[in-house]
Amino acid sequence: MLRALLTLLACLYSTTLVAQLNVNVVISGIDKPLEDNIRLFLSIEQQKNHALISEGRLRRLHTKANQEIASALQPFGYYRSVIKAELKKLTNDHWQATYIINPGPPITIGEFNFVISKEMGEDEEFQSLIKNFSLHTDDVFNHVDYENIKSDLARLASDRGYFNARFIEHRIDIDLDAYVANINLNYDGGPRFNFGEVSLQQDVLDTELIQRYIPFERGSVYTLNQLIDLQQALNDSDYFQTVEVSPGQLQPDSNEIPINVILTPRRQHRYSFGLGYGSDTGARAKFGWQIPRLNTSGHRFDTETRVSELGYSLSAQYRVPVLNPRTDQMIYSAGVVHETTDSSESTIRTIGAGLKRSRRYWRESISLNYQQEDYTVADVHGNSTLLMPSVNWNRTWGNNFIYTIDGLRFDIGLRGASKDLMSDTDFFQLQGGIKAISSLDQHNRLITRGNLGSIWTQEFNQLPSSVRFFAGGAQSVRGYAYQSLGPVDATGQVIGGRHLMVGSIEYEHNFNSHWGLALFYDGGNAIDNLADKLERGGGFGLRWKSPVGPVRIDLASALSQKDQPWRLHINIGPDL
């Protein structure tokens, strides 16, 4: 018993001594990517911290190092490396393995024989891929690039419907005497498959409506991008909780691949609630109720209530998908808006119908609204009844409309009314706006915007405040209160203008991914004559990229007013 105990203690003691062996591996003569790959291949590097490392084991690992280093260099094209290796005992428990490496000249590509089947060769996507191959004759040969070429070909073949594609030949001949690598690649795509029948597993919407979301027809050539497009369209439709779109099984003696679509409905009712603050509106709150799917025809219903220090609004909309349901819908609406500003007070009741649709890259909105408005402008009370047809177009360029590096937005709208069509006055209004964001470098942006508008009427004093032009506020000329600028009456009270001219230029510097500062200069006014005075405002602001969108806090001076008073503006919303 005593002998066994002593033996166990001896083993534990010896293991403790072995575990204390410290090995440092030094590699020099090459760049970091090569060194990292060598350390992955090098056994002495991988096992230097092993609990049972010993002097004998360390020496055995060291003898393998030259071959392991040579193997690690070959994928990068180095086949004539010279390695100076040394294993040195520094102290009783501290060793150092040193490897000084001269990788030698990299091997180059002597021949690159690439053959692809005819149909693939005529495919523009494959032509683009081949044009951008990372390896060419006389280039340094790199195994990683070679494998990436093979992977890219296989991936693109799958994406483009060549499901039977295969490499007839893929060979590398290393000629160490001539010191060249000869590549032979022969890729046969086989037949290209077409879209087959789309199988819909759902009981949410009429089949005819869902089929209008499908961007391809049966018999058209298969592409993964169109499958992704269908998945995204169904997700964006807001009808479904989950959307699964996948290719089915290939059928013998058929060049069609079936598509399976599995849809799970979204909850019947959705509610939203929000709180916020803006210098133009003050504190505000909103509550929304939506029914995303009223019936199998895809009709929707939503209402929203907003309350702020300026007033309140209540709106309801009934939406019907038409034409292309991804982008086009008829909207039947009703609502009431009450707003009190420094220059006017109004209560507007509307009912209307409109068509929103896409025209290629443009969004078009055509509507007809019947509006009754009670208003007060400069102590003058009035009421108005207008039946207003209108049309609006807008287009946005850019990749990220929330945080935009480079982008542009353009809007233009027309509306009017006639006494011959249930209105108590005649007018025609044209209004347009543009906003451009340009990156100067990684941390700096230049932001410009402008708005123009005009009203043609013989009875301007009969127009309600909602149709007249006013200026001032966070989205107009900063340094002035919301809608406080415009022509005035004999008592000096703002009554609104026939024309609108507003412009702004802003320089923004971002310190990091979240915070930045801005300097800006705004000019403009609501005017009756093009020669009327334009007000000016300028200042600086703080920018924060919050999780809910950019927050802009501006301190602006009314440069055109006496003593140039300062005003705080707060605005939250997307860049475009």
> How far, in Å, CA of 241 to CA of 477, rounded?
43
With beta carbons less than 8 A apart as the criterion, state whether 520 and 506 touch: yes
Question: Using a CB cutoff of 8 Å and minimum separation of 24, what contacts does 115-122 make?
Answer: 115/185, 115/186, 115/187, 116/186, 116/187, 116/189, 117/187, 117/188, 117/189, 117/190, 119/189, 119/192, 120/157, 120/162, 120/165, 120/187, 120/189
Domain boundaries, the chain: 2-102, 108-188, 194-265, 270-572
What is the tens place of the pLDDT at every residue in 373-396?
A: 999 888 889 999 999 999 999 999
Round to whole Å and give the CA distance between 81 and 345: 85
What's the CATH superfamily of 194-265?
A: membrane protein fhac (3.10.20.310)
Distances (CA, A) of 180 to 71, 142, 172, 235, 556: 17, 12, 10, 52, 69
> Do 369 and 384 form a contact (C-beta atoms < 8 A)?
no
Instruction: State the pLDDT at residue 172.
Output: 93
Identify whether the C-beta of residue 287 lies closer than 8 Å to the C-beta of residue 305: yes
**What is residue 109's predicted lDDT score, i.e. its pLDDT?**
93
DSSP states along 78-131: B-S-EEEEEEEEEETTEEEEEEEEE--PBPEEEEEEEEE-HHHHT-HHHHHHHH
| pLDDT at site 20 | 57
Q: Domain spanning 108-188: which CATH class is it, in words?
A: alpha beta
Q: Would you state the pLDDT for residue 412?
A: 97
CATH classification of 270-572 is 2.60.120.280, yes or no? no
Q: What pLDDT, on a 0 to 100 scale, did the predictor assign at position 147?
A: 93
Report CA-CA distances (Å) from 490 to 261, 378, 494, 498: 69, 10, 10, 17
Q: Which pLDDT does position 233 carry in this prediction? A: 93
Distances (CA, A) of 181 to 106, 113, 143, 177, 185: 10, 11, 10, 11, 13
Partners of 454 in the beta sheet? 430, 499
Q: Which stretches of the chain drop beneath a pLDDT of 50?
A: 1-2, 4-6, 8-19
**2-102 and 194-265 in the same fold:** yes
Question: CATH homologous superfamily of domain 2-102?
Answer: membrane protein fhac (3.10.20.310)
